């Protein structure tokens, strides 16, 4: 099969995406597919020809994720044009010439339904959920509103933080709370504010990142994540950061967090989080695969936090670990995602 892996893009999760894309590309080439790795934002700008990408070596630098998120202004300045487009030259043409587009994108213009809609219009099959489910899942507030009567989720409110209302919000909101952008991933811009000073710093960062912000009650407990693949919950995984919480650095630096899969929870709790993940998955209309995040409170109650439609496939990512616990190696996981995505596109999902 001729497969184009789309990665990179102009997102704060760009480096995570490049790592996912490199790993997927390598795995699929080993399984005999003709595979090209392409940066959504740069496209063919300064690159080898389109056909050359199918035999181009995979840069080793892509496979590990830098500790800090990228400077997107620097990324933008390196493209050799002044176009406002988030899609680089030749990308859509390369997509149209492939049998399948494997979306290794994360975050804005990758996980939010827009590239899925473009590929739908091109008539090109792609991996993961469709455009509508992807757009809903990317919006943390909308997702919570749709599922709050079906699964337990921390109490929340959604605000737009501005310079004008920041002081009012900082005085009204009572810590401890979790402050997070309404549409981002990899814990970028996420803060646990345990006092007013930390809350004010978090709100300042929220304003810098665009303003639309979810303020969520902080639930102290164990972090459990559950992947859904082909309509079934995979074994859960528990995340224990060695320091702090499971932020961007702790997600992608080897050894920064202890990951236990299957999680050391009771069979009843395993079933509860698996059922909750499936409920969210089905309620917002997802397909193929996703990963749901939970906090298990000290009294044993699972709280749903969010769901990710294109979870990471990096060397430290969680879905590959959960698949391995279910007896599925990395290459088979990639093949399964492709096969189930082809079926979903045929069914209009």
In order of their start, the domains of the chain are 2-126 (3.40.50.20), 138-151+219-328 (3.30.470.20), 156-217 (3.30.1490.20)
103 backbone dihedrals φ, ψ, rounded to 5°: -85, 105
Contact 160, 207 (CB under 8 A): no
Give the strand order in the sheet containing 212-217: 156-160, 212-217, 177-181, 191-193
> How far apart are alpha carbons 336 and 315 in whole angstroms?
18
**Residue whose pair of structure tokens reads 């069979």 in the numeric block:** 267
Contact 236, 277 (CB under 8 A): no
| Among candidate residues 95, 116, 80, the one with its CA nearest the CA of residue 36 | 95
- Which pLDDT score is estimated for 193? 92
Task: Record the pTM.
Answer: 0.90
Task: List the helix and strand counts (H, then E) for the chain.
Answer: 12, 13
Quote the tokens at residue 75: 């990324």
> How far apart are alpha carbons 272 and 88 in whole angstroms?
43
111 backbone dihedrals φ, ψ, rounded to 5°: -110, 0
Quote the tokens at residue 57: 């070596």
In this structure, the strands spanning 2-7 and 34-39 are parallel
> How far apart are alpha carbons 286 and 288 in whole angstroms?
7
> How far apart are alpha carbons 104 and 127 in whole angstroms?
9
Sign of the CA dihedral with 121 first, then 123, 128, and 130 last: positive
> How far apart are alpha carbons 113 and 139 in whole angstroms?
11
- Which pLDDT score is estimated for 284? 97
Instruction: Collect the ranges in the chain with pLDDT lower than 70.
Output: 46-49, 67, 184-188, 243-256
- Which pLDDT score is estimated for 145? 97
């Amino acid at each position: 099969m001729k497969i184009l892996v789309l990665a990179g893009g102009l997102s704060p999760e760009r480096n995570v995406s490049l790592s996912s894309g490199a790993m997927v590309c390598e795995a699929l080439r080993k399984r005999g597919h003709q595979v090209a790795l392409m940066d959504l934002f740069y496209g063919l700008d300064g690159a080898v020809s389109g056909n050359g990408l199918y035999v181009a070596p995979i840069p080793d630098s892509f496979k590990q994720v830098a500790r800090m998120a990228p400077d997107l202004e620097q990324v933008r300045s390196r493209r050799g044009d002044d176009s406002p487009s988030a899609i680089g030259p030749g990308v859509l043409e390369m997509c149209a010439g492939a049998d399948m587009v494997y979306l290794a994108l994360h975050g804005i213009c990758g996980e939010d339904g827009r590239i899925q809609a473009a590929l739908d219009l091109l008539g090109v099959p792609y991996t993961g959920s469709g455009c509508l489910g992807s757009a809903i899942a990317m919006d943390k507030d909308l997702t919570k509103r749709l599922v709050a009567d079906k699964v337990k989720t921390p109490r929340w409110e959604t605000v737009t933080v501005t310079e004008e209302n920041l002081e009012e919000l900082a005085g009204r909101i009572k810590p401890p709370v979790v402050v997070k952008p309404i549409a981002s991933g990899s814990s970028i811009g996420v803060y646990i504010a345990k006092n007013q000073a930390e809350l004010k710093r978090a709100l300042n960062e929220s304003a810098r990142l665009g303003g639309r912000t979810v303020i969520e009650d902080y639930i102290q407990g164990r972090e459990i994540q559950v992947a859904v693949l082909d309509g079934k919950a995979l074994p859960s995984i528990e995340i224990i950061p060695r320091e702090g919480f499971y932020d961007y650095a702790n997600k992608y630096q080897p050894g920064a967090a202890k990951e236990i899969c299957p999680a050391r929870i009771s069979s009843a709790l395993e079933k509860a989080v698996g059922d909750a993940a499936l409920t969210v998955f089905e309620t917002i209309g997802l397909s193929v695969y996703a990963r749901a995040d939970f906090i298990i409170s000290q009294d044993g109650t699972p709280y749903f936090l969010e769901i990710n439609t294109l979870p990471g496939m990096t060397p430290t990512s969680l879905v590959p670990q959960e698949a391995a616990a279910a007896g599925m190696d990395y290459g088979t996981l990639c093949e399964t995602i492709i096969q189930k995505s082809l079926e979903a596109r045929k069914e209009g999902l």
